[in-house]
Structure 1
């Protein structure tokens, strides 16, 4: 037997074995010639996954065209820059199927250099990571849902104290920068203990829910926030709101609660449920603290309660810029 012929047969057999192994995996092997940017090879599995036959993958333009438009610029720029630098890399993107859908792909790329150290070709594998992406998206959705639940009052469905605290601090910082007024309206339902004693806690919960809904309808601007502050107390966070506008919103709260006509035989402020309100507006100075402003509005609220309830009291004055 001629040794050269035998050796050539062994090499061919080995190449055939490697090809069989590559084409029997779920990963899709491919190779691109760097000089021509043409596909030298792509595994037949691509047809099963995306519907495009291997022969339709001629150049990198086919790869780019079959990528989701939202992923295209970043992925292409990233892969080109890494390849030019000779750095192995990987990228996730959505690949277009022949049927018009998309499949999440992870491309793992190895940069092959020639004897002169220049980029000769790119070889890699495409992996279908759709299930993994769906699982990640579900985890993210659940995380966002849990985060929202942690910021929502379970009874009334509006923001809770934690969410108010976060937003109040953020709006305080913004007001300090913008020098625009920031207002609060704090509200406490009058004689709510007597309401619960007379009508029961189920009716008490229903009362809180109806009032919370009414307040949410009033705080309708994108940055406004209606929150349950605790127990029967609510608070409205009103960015970029002048003293007159804040007072008008407080009066709207009084009217909205009166409009609910929730009977309250145990109240000394009337025959229906009412509330006492404290209103304040601040132009945030560099040295001022949000807790001081919140306490000032709270004192105005308790002044309204001490003054006979079913009334509005305003924090006197507005700090100078």
Structure 2
């Protein structure tokens, strides 16, 4: 009876072990299947894999890791963390170490860094480097990390081209397409910048408002295409007079052009304005409705201040009005002591 019980127990144990073995074999097959799937995924995504024993410096990498920098595993030979150090850009190592230490301190879920590695052909390859500690020696002391390398050189090149295109686009957004000088948006930003600087340094800023005389009549007689050509010539002529890097010219709107002259007194601004008047006359742009030798002319209002910056534009505009009333093709300056009175004369035509 005891022998029968023993045999029955043994049979049950063997059957139980056989079931467990079958379960383990099934799991092994399943793991192998998933391992194969993972290999296929890694291969299809062209990801380099690294496995780093942090304390000993041992490093295991796959073929793709080597391929990213132009080598085969065989060419690299025995690899270690020194291999990474050898091919990493010297300027990137400090930041890489900082991010690793941050991860080891538990401040980040994983290590992520865009770095450069030296390619076999001599150029630098941009690599998206990610990793995570999977085993610890003790708190904040990593034992083993695994991670990936992804070649993002094309992405970096694309981003660089995109940035360049955006900069060009931004530059275009500040340029008047007709006259090829800065537009009103650029003027308003520059005005705030110049005024801010003048307030801090207590310097004088002058403003010229320039208006093409009888421009509506010009357009009506010669056509808008010729009008555009004339406006372009006027803008470029004004620009040619301004020799200082600090001087700024912009199309304010229509046939009106503004010039900002930082560090310039009223007298100095008047001299510049007179030069512009003469420069426009020298262009000899025909205008049958002009009383000045049948040539296109401009009128200029000038204002200057070292304190009343909010009134600067209005003062220059007032002076322009007086220039128009006084016969055009002339410069008028706004005086704080004898401000022009606009209501005494009828409104001049453009």
TM-score tier by shorter-chain length is 0.7 to 0.9
Which of 104, 107, 122 is the aligned partner of 2:129? 107
Give 1:50 deviation, angstroms. 1.9
Check if 1:76 corresponds to 2:96: yes
**DSSP 3-state at the match of 1:293:** helix
Unmatched 5+ residue regions in structure 1?
Answer: none
Query: Which stretch shifts more, 102-111 or 185-194?
Result: 102-111
C-alpha spacing 1:80/1:180, structure 2 compared with 1 (3 Å): farther
Check if 1:97 corresponds to 2:119: yes
Which of 151, 164, 170 is the aligned partner of 2:174? 151
What pairs up with 1:108-123 in 2 under 5 angstroms? Answer: 108-117=130-139, 118-123=141-146
Query: Which stretch shifts more, 228-237 or 111-120?
Result: 111-120
Unmatched 5+ residue regions in structure 2?
Answer: 1-17, 338-350
Give 1:18 deviation, angstroms. 8.3
Check if 1:190 corresponds to 2:213: yes
C-alpha spacing 1:16/1:190, structure 2 compared with 1 (3 Å): closer
**DSSP 3-state at the match of 1:90:** strand
CA distance in 2, matches of 1:74, 1:184: 51
**DSSP 3-state at the match of 2:138:** coil
What pairs up with 1:275-290 in 2 under 5 angstroms? Answer: 275-284=298-307, 288-290=308-310
**DSSP 3-state at the match of 1:209:** helix
**DSSP 3-state at the match of 2:323:** helix
Give 1:255 deviation, angstroms. 2.5
Native 8 Å contact 1:185 1:250 kept in 2: yes
Check if 1:294 corresponds to 2:313: yes
Which of 29, 51, 54 is the aligned partner of 2:49? 29
Give 1:29 deviation, angstroms. 0.9
C-alpha spacing 1:196/1:19, structure 2 compared with 1 (3 Å): closer
Aligned to 1:229: 252
CA distance in 2, matches of 1:95, 1:226: 47
Native 8 Å contact 1:153 1:159 kept in 2: yes
Native 8 Å contact 1:159 1:227 kept in 2: yes
Give 1:22 deviation, angstroms. 7.4
Native 8 Å contact 1:184 1:236 kept in 2: yes
**DSSP 3-state at the match of 1:114:** strand
C-alpha spacing 1:289/1:282, structure 2 compared with 1 (3 Å): closer
Check if 1:46 corresponds to 2:68: no
Native 8 Å contact 1:23 1:44 kept in 2: no
Aligned to 2:271: 248
**Deviations 1:228-279, CA, capped at 9 Å, x for gaps:** 1111110112233333432232222223212212122210234322111112
What pairs up with 1:157-176 in 2 under 5 angstroms? Answer: 157-176=180-199
Aligned to 2:261: 238
TM-score (norm 1): 0.82
Query: Which stretch shifts more, 302-311 or 103-112?
Result: 103-112
Length, aligned pairs only: 308
